[in-house]
Amino acid sequence: MKKITITIDGYSSCGKSTLAKQLAKKLGYLYIDSGAMYRAITLYFIQHTVNWNDAEAVKEALRSIHLEFIHNQITGQSDMYLNDENVEPLIREMLVAEKVSEVAAVREVREFAVAQQQKMGKERGIVMDGRDIGTVVFPHAELKIFMTADPAIRVERRFKELYEKNRNITLHEVKENLELRDYIDSNREVSPLRKADDAIILDNSQLTMPEQLDLVLQWVEDAIMAHSS
């Protein structure tokens, strides 16, 4: 069957990566979590006290950053490696979440990440999730999804996830972080979070994960049909 490119963009914690992973597994496609790349760059900047408001310092630091996704045999998923170190758990922490949207708004950082994302998606058969995948990274993708969910539901979902790992986290802290990130992501100058004109909206506030997967698999079938003639 013809392989296509699937992009999933949308707000924080609406279930983009959950859906993208399930789709990739079901279709035998490659899954790329573009947010992990921005998180890893942010981690590097924090660890090396790089001033991300200084374009020269950013360019210099980016020359020392090597990002790679490596398959994890135990979890069956891809882990983010920063300069040969598995940074998967570290990049999910609040310390990174608090700064990632500022770093991701920097033009040089975006150019660095987008170039690598486009290389990874040269062959079709890829699902990539993020904020600008349908608008900037793969504007010619055959299926574009723009995900959203009720803000209170998104906060609850992310809180549950983080609370399992850190009992000190508060609902308020998670809410503030999601609101701030969505605001910065939607209002930045370079590649703001936007629905591509040809993207389909998926509001999963009231959908279970199997329900949303079934719905999207139908869209995939339709997109393959539409592009095979």
Please identify which residue in 41, 80, 104, 223 interacts with ligand CDP, judged by CB under 6 A: 104
Distance CA 72, CA 216 (A): 26
144 binds ligand CDP (CB under 6 A): no
209 binds ligand CDP (CB under 6 A): yes
The beta strand positions in the chain, using DSSP E, are 5-10, 30-33, 67-71, 78-82, 85-86, 126-130, 143-148, 200-203
Helix or strand holding residue 57 (H, E): helix 55-62
Site for ligand CDP in 19-38 (CB under 6 A): 34-35, 38
Region from 53-61, 98-106, 118-126, 167-175 binding ligand CDP, contact rule CB under 6 A: 98-106
Distance CA 106, CA 44 (A): 15
Task: Give the nearer residue to ligand CDP in terms of CB position, either 144 or 157.
Answer: 157
**Count of chain residues binding ligand CDP (CB under 6 A):** 27
Region from 57-65, 67-75, 82-90, 203-211 binding ligand CDP, contact rule CB under 6 A: 203-211
The answer to whether the annotation marks 205 as part of a ligand binding site is: no
Strand partners, 129: 8, 33
Q: Which amino acid is at 40?
A: A
Instruction: Give helix 107-120 / helix 55-62 axis angle, nearest 10°.
Output: 30
135 binds ligand CDP (CB under 6 A): no
Please identify which residue in 7, 15, 27, 162 interacts with ligand CDP, judged by CB under 6 A: 15
Q: What is the dihedral of CA 123, 32, 193, 15, to 10 degrees?
A: 130
The answer to whether the annotation marks 121 as part of a ligand binding site is: no
Distance CA 60, CA 63 (A): 5
Residue ranges binding ligand CDP (CB under 6 A): 12-18, 34-35, 38-39, 100-101, 104, 130-133, 157-158, 161, 181, 185, 204, 207, 209, 212
Residue set of the binding site for ATP: 10-18
